[in-house]
Amino acid sequence: MLYAVISDIHSNLEALAAFLEAARRLRVEKVVCLGDIVGYNANPNECIEILRDRGAICVLGNHDSRVAGFEEPTNFNYHAAAAVYWTRDAITPENLEFLKDLPRSVTVKGRFTAVHGWLNDTDRYIMGPRDAERNFRLMESLGTPDLCFFGHTHVPAVYSEKDGEAVLLHENPVKLAKGAKYLINPGGLGQPRDRDPRAAFLVYDTRKNQAAFHRVEYDVRSASEKVLKAGLPDRLAERLKLGW
């Protein structure tokens, strides 16, 4: 089966639409979203409704959680917090309930786990090998599958466990060895932060047991203009152009 794994859409309808067209060409069968459907950009309702209509498997992100009212954005920077408050005003009741119903983690057919941040904490970032090692230990203690997809950093990454240590891998596609543990981040779909403004996603092929990273161009200008028109902070529009 071919799964497309995406994360951090952040209300970017143009990026989501470009991804869906790419996924169609790649013959993707199921979409898995690792959270942060909303925040930062100007089309929260449209993005939620597309995922709902397509039956995507989704988990809760930290921005989703703030919009849902589970926490307040008191630890967010000004721009992120402003987007949360704007989204709370813009979101429909039906889409708000959708966010409130999202799980913080999900295991799919016993093959892999999907989370936003750490396995046990939506808000924490897996930023390097040390964080990955701690999450590999969590995988063991929680009894999850050996493959976990995570988001939150907006940067593509693959960590594999070797002799109790986490190793950052750089190949693409990544062939997943039997019995090895992996933590894989597809990168940011709607707000990339690796200096590449193209929307990032990956395709997990269960038959080949491999994960392949992809990038797709989208209409950054249109997405940026919507941010400004909505009255969201200018910086949120500018960073889309920079991939940061």
Please state which of the ranges 68-77, 123-132, 133-142, 160-169 shows the lowest mean pLDDT.
Answer: 160-169
On the question of pLDDT at 112 being above 90, the answer is yes
**Model pLDDT for residues 36-80, shown as the tens digit of each residue:** 999 999 999 999 999 999 999 999 999 999 999 999 999 999 999
Q: Which amino acid is at 215?
A: R
pLDDT, residue 128, reads 96
pLDDT of residue 180: 96
Q: How many domains does the chain divide into?
A: 1
What is the distance between the alpha carbons of residues 242 and 154, in angstroms, rounded to a whole number? 13
**149 within 8 A of 111, measured Cβ to Cβ:** no
- 129: burial class by Cβ within 10 Å (0-12, 13-18, 19+)? middle
Query: Hunting for tokens 């951090």 — which residue is that?
Result: 8
CATH code for the domain in which residue 42 is found: 3.60.21.10
Q: Is the pLDDT of residue 164 over 90?
A: no
pLDDT average, residue stretch 98-110: 98
Please state, for a pLDDT cut of 70, what percent of the chain lies above it.
100
CA distance 200 to 114: 17
| Residue 187: per-residue pLDDT | 98
Nearest to 185 by CA among 218, 147, 221, 220: 147
Q: How confident is the model at residue 163 (pLDDT cuts 50, 70, 90)?
A: confident
List alpha helices for 31-77, DSSP H.
44-53, 62-68
207 lies in which domain range? 2-242
How far, in whole angstroms, is CA 144 from its chain's centroid?
19
pLDDT of residue 162: 81
Q: How far apart are the C-alpha atoms of 29 and 38, rounded to whole Å?
A: 23
112 contacts 149 by C-beta, under 8 angstroms: yes
